[in-house]
Each structure stands twice: as C-alpha cells, then as structure tokens.
C-alpha cells in the first residue's frame, strides 16, 4: 500500500512540476524579451527544483543528505529524458507511428522507470 501511495504522490508531483514548467515558460516569454529556448531552460530548472523538493519531502519523506540526493535526482531525470527520446525515436522513426502514439507510450513507460530509480537510488536513505 505504501508503494502505491508513493507512486500516486510521484505522479502528482510530476503534474505539479509540469504545470510549474509551463507557467514559468509562459511568464518568461510574455513578460521579458527572453528567447523561448532560454525560457524553457529556465522553466526546466525551476520545475526540476520544485519536483526535487516535493519528491524529497512529500513523496519519499527522505531525511538523507540532500547534497548527495540532488545529483542523483538530476541523473534520474536525465535518464527519463533519454528514455523518452528513445521511445519517440522508436515510435516515430522505426515504426512510423504518429508522434502522439510515441507520446502515449512514453507517458506509460517513463514515469514507472523514473519512480523506481528515484525510490531505489535517488532518495534512498
């Protein structure tokens, strides 16, 4: 039961981080002369830090050293990005599926992988 609760919390944090990313991006491009590529980088950093803090405290209730956990969490997030890109390349280029089919496949596959890595490695005590 604790595993299911953690996964639901992880999903909620992912949704919150996605909303933060979108909000920071929109605020940046609507109120400053920033380039959209730079804006998405800024938005990623803000959403990444929010996701880290929320997952550390709420999802996994970790009390371990945050200095050790932050780079591991970044590695997990980058692994998720790489897996997402690989799934998209497979779906769109190798299988010639719709990009939306690739997106759907990534939505189903990437969160459980990043959850497992976060739980077993990034936020381990």
* Domain ranges for the chain: 1-61, 64-125
CA atoms within 13 A on the CB side of 6: 18
CA atoms within 13 A on the CB side of 76: 24
> What is the distance between the alpha carbons of residues 12 and 10, in angstroms, rounded to a whole number?
5
Per-residue pLDDT of the chain (125 residues; tens, 9 = 90+): 899 999 999 999 999 999 999 999 999 999 999 999 999 999 999 999 999 999 999 999 999 999 999 999 999 999 999 999 999 999 999 999 999 999 999 999 999 999 999 999 999 97
């Amino acid at each position: 039961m604790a595993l299911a609760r953690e996964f639901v919390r992880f999903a909620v944090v992912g949704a919150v981080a996605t909303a933060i990313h979108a909000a920071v991006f929109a605020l940046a491009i609507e109120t400053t002369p920033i380039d959209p590529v730079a804006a998405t980088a800024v938005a990623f950093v803000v959403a990444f830090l929010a996701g880290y803090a929320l997952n550390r405290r709420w999802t996994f209730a970790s009390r371990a050293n945050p200095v050790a956990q932050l780079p591991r969490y970044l590695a997990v997030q980058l692994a998720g990005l790489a897996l997402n890109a690989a799934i998209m390349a497979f779906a769109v280029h190798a299988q010639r599926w719709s990009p939306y089919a690739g997106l759907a496949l990534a939505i189903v596959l990437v969160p459980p992988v990043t959850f497992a890595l976060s739980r077993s490695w990034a936020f381990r005590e």
